[in-house]
């Protein structure tokens, strides 16, 4: 199903008008990503693993609906800036925990400051527009041959969570509580979902923003971590 996944993870030009607000504020999503037009060496190792770890952890924390550090709007009295602040604090704490852990082990810094800023910007970028990214991914999969019972490409519903990072039976749109419980209890589901959301963000938001501005991220916003494609 490699070609199918390639189509699902198409770039920003494939995003329909309904999801155009994914592109409207691209600068906000990548404002913490350090960029330059100068040539530079690629990172010594992929930035993606730590980024996906953070997003996966954020999914589980978000699913707990903690009112003191909300990663989503929990009620009508909550303001969006509260969520944005919590998201930025989550990213800061996650990277601080990582860097402190490396120092305690007397390890050499794995990434440069610029690369850590890029990782932090991606964590924030995915989480602040997660509703859009989740809707987009659900829409792409549901309207593809992967979700059509008569198609040879169809992925069985009991494998959707581990392969696609999606809950079957349109639970995505109908029952947030069921979705949250699955993210809390099923490690493969949370991991696969984190990978897909980061891939969509890089291909539909960060990558086009970098290209439009003439800048680049340390790894050129490449998506090389989806094994299915």
Dump pLDDT digits (tens) for 61-81.
999 999 999 999 999 999 999
Question: Rounded CA gap, 191 and 187, in Å?
Answer: 6
The pLDDT of 169-195, averaged and rounded, is 91
Instruction: Give the mean pLDDT of 45-74.
Output: 94
| Long-range Cβ contact pairs of 45-51 (< 8 A, separation 24 or more) | 45/110, 45/111, 46/219, 46/224, 46/225, 47/111, 47/115, 47/118, 47/119, 47/122, 47/218, 47/219, 48/198, 48/219, 48/224, 48/225, 49/225, 50/98, 50/111, 50/119, 51/119, 51/122, 51/123, 51/198
Could you tell me which residue, 88 or 6, shows the higher pLDDT?
Answer: 88
**pTM score of the predicted model:** 0.82
For the ranges 24-28, 105-109, 135-139, which has the lowest average pLDDT?
A: 24-28
Q: Which of 14-18, 126-130, 216-220 has the lowest mean pLDDT?
A: 14-18
């Amino acid at each position: 199903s490699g070609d199918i996944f390639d189509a699902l993870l198409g770039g920003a030009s494939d995003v329909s008008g309904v999801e155009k607000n994914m592109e409207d504020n691209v600068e906000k999503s990548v404002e913490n990503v350090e960029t330059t037009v100068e040539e530079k060496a690629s990172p010594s190792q992929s930035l993606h693993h730590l980024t996906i770890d953070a997003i996966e952890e954020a999914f589980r924390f978000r699913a707990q609906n903690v009112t003191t550090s909300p990663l989503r709007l929990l009620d009508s009295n909550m303001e969006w800036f509260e969520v944005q602040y919590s998201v930025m604090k989550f990213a800061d704490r996650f990277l601080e925990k990582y860097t402190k852990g490396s120092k305690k082990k007397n390890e050499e810094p794995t990434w440069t400051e610029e690369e850590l800023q890029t990782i932090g910007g991606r964590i924030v970028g995915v989480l602040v527009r997660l509703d859009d990214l989740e809707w987009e991914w659900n829409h792409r999969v549901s309207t593809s041959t992967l979700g059509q019972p008569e198609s040879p490409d169809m992925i069985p519903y009991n494998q959707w969570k581990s392969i696609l990072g999606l809950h079957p039976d349109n639970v995505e749109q109908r029952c947030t509580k069921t979705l949250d419980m699955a993210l809390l209890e099923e490690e493969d589901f949370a991991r696969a979902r984190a990978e897909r959301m980061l891939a969509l963000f890089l291909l539909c938001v960060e990558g086009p923003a970098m290209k439009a501005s003439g800048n680049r991220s340390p790894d050129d916003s490449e998506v090389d971590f989806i094994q299915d494609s």
